[in-house]
Amino acid sequence: MLNPSKQRNNKLQIRVDKLTKEKIEQAASYSNKTISDFVLENVVPVAEKVIEEHITIKVSNRDWDKLMAQLENPPEANEALKQAAKRYKAIVK
Nearest to 25 by CA among 35, 13, 39: 35
Instruction: Note whether 77 and 85 are within 8 A (CB).
Output: yes
Instruction: Note whether 24 and 35 are within 8 A (CB).
Output: yes
CA distances from 27 to 21, 24, 39, 84, 89 (A): 10, 5, 10, 60, 61
pLDDT in tens, the chain (93 residues): 566 667 889 999 999 999 999 999 999 999 999 999 999 999 999 999 999 999 999 999 999 999 999 999 999 999 999 999 999 999 998
pTM: 0.60
